[in-house]
Amino acid sequence: MNADVDQFAAPLGSEPEAEPPASTPERAALGVAVIGAGDMGSRHAQHWQASGARVVALVDPDLERATAAAARLGAQAYGDPSAVLADPDVNVISVCTPTYLHAGITVAALEAGKHVLCEKPASLTLRDAQAMHDAAERSGKELRIGFMRRFDPAYRPLMDYTTRAGRPLLAQATITAGVRPKRLMHDALVNGGPIIDMCCHVFNLWDVMFGGEPVAVSARGYTFSDDKPEVAGIAQRALDSALITLEYGGGSVGQIQVSWGLPAGIEPVERHTYVGPAGLVTVDWNKHLTLRDASGVTRWRSRGVDPWRAEIEQFTREITEGAPREVAGIAAGTAALRVSLAVLEAIATQRVVVPAEIADLEVNNR
């Protein structure tokens, strides 16, 4: 029998998203400052406001950018975070700066008594991730890392379908794009390149899917962008391409083929395949999922949604209502970074690396 079932996510995408819950006094009392008013910062600010919180300030050394983003929300603009850190009306800080700045701003915000939502990846070094963890422990404030894919409508169907494919799973992810338009995404010392910046999403996903970090990592790394003018002159250009093999307890194995080194303008692609004893799952992340098993073919299709919106809504619930934690914490951010560093170590040494044995490393990323 060959069932062919189409399942659709709840109304999403260009259609209006579900109405946010009516703002409660607790939500309206929540003052938020967003540090970094670029793509992520503007998005966070908009979603905080939609959750019923008050966006009090946007901070960016590019004051023109901060001012433009703040004006849309009736907020103040600042060139540095000192005023918002001292402001008792600010309860939450969203950290949306380049990655190398995450730890310093997060630690200062926690020490100033603010809750923090920090964009992924947590940091570029385990030392920084540890400092973020320790500051959260000392302050008693909430710290979350923005692995927003947990809130993508494709996330639950993916977890469900891969469970139905059985264990062990043979997982494969292909992630390709032209050289990124933001040069900082290729800078080993700023955002870390795709092995840190992009693959952290997959490492985090697979940590959850396989119940823990990989027990062994091997990899080969490349810079396909050597002759590309868009990234010329970056002093520490990160590896932009790699083939990575990750072995998990229980026998599952994952392989990632990643490149941000293709000619500029090539459309980004992310496809995953999961093969298990009971079936095969293919994912055009995050648009289509297909499970093929003995009962036939089951398809799921997303109409698109902004997962940051759902992530911020959930964090709002966690802070104001004590809702159970669903937004990733610093432990998940540290774990994903440890795998990234293990991959970089495996590339540098051409050896199999055990992530649990990775202490802090100077990022050897080029």
Q: Distance between CA 346 and CA 359 in Å, rounded?
A: 14
CA angle 332, 159, 142 (to 5 degrees): 30
- 117, 148, 171, 246: residue in contact with ligand NAD (rule CB under 6 A): 148
- 9, 30, 33, 40: residue in contact with ligand NAD (rule CB under 6 A): 40
Question: CB of residue 172 vs ligand NAD: minimum separation in angstroms?
Answer: 21
Question: CB of residue 2 vs ligand NAD: minimum separation in angstroms?
Answer: 37
Q: Which stretch binds ligand NAD (CB under 6 A): 4-12, 54-62, 213-221, 264-272?
A: 54-62
Q: How far, CA to CA in Å, does 235 sit from each of 124, 187, 238, 351?
A: 17, 8, 9, 26
**Does 152 sit near ligand NAD (CB under 6 A)?**
no
**Does 275 sit near ligand NAD (CB under 6 A)?**
no
Question: CB of residue 170 vs ligand NAD: minimum separation in angstroms?
Answer: 26
Count of alpha carbons within 13 angstroms of residue 146, beta-carbon side: 28
Bridge partners, 93 (sequence order): 33, 116
Compose the 184-223 pattern: x for residues touching ligand NAD by CB under 6 A, - for all others. Answer: -------x-----x--------------------------
**Does 99 sit near ligand NAD (CB under 6 A)?**
yes
**Does 98 sit near ligand NAD (CB under 6 A)?**
yes
- 11, 21, 61, 251: residue in contact with ligand NAD (rule CB under 6 A): 61
- 27, 33, 34, 36: residue in contact with ligand NAD (rule CB under 6 A): 36
- 47, 120, 186, 272: residue in contact with ligand NAD (rule CB under 6 A): 120
Bridge partners, 353 (sequence order): 217
The helix/strand count (H/E) of the chain reads as 11, 15
**Does 106 sit near ligand NAD (CB under 6 A)?**
no
**Does 304 sit near ligand NAD (CB under 6 A)?**
no
Q: Distance between CA 176 and CA 222 in Å, rounded?
A: 13
Q: Which stretch binds ligand NAD (CB under 6 A): 38-46, 158-166, 169-177, 318-326?
A: 38-46
Question: CB of residue 358 vs ligand NAD: minimum separation in angstroms?
Answer: 21
- 53, 73, 75, 96: residue in contact with ligand NAD (rule CB under 6 A): 96
250: left (phi over 0), alpha (psi -120 to 50) or beta: left
Helix boundaries (H) for the chain: 25-28, 39-50, 63-73, 82-85, 102-111, 126-139, 155-164, 194-197, 199-210, 307-321, 330-349
Nearer to ligand NAD, 59 or 262 (CB): 59
Q: Distance between CA 69 and CA 58 in Å, rounded?
A: 7
Residues numbered 62 to 81 that lie near ligand NAD (CB under 6 A) are: 62, 65
User: Are the beta carbons of 340 and 195 closer than 8 angstroms?
Assistant: yes
Residues in contact with ligand NAD, counted by CB under 6 A, come to a total of 24
User: Are the beta carbons of 276 and 160 closer than 8 angstroms?
Assistant: no
Say if residue 259 is exposed, middle or buried (CB neighbours under 10 Å; 0-12, 13-18, 19+): buried
Q: Distance between CA 135 and CA 114 in Å, rounded?
A: 11
Nearer to ligand NAD, 248 or 260 (CB): 260
Q: By CB under 6 A, name the binding residues for ligand NAD.
A: 35-41, 59-62, 65, 96-99, 101, 119-120, 146, 148, 182, 191, 197
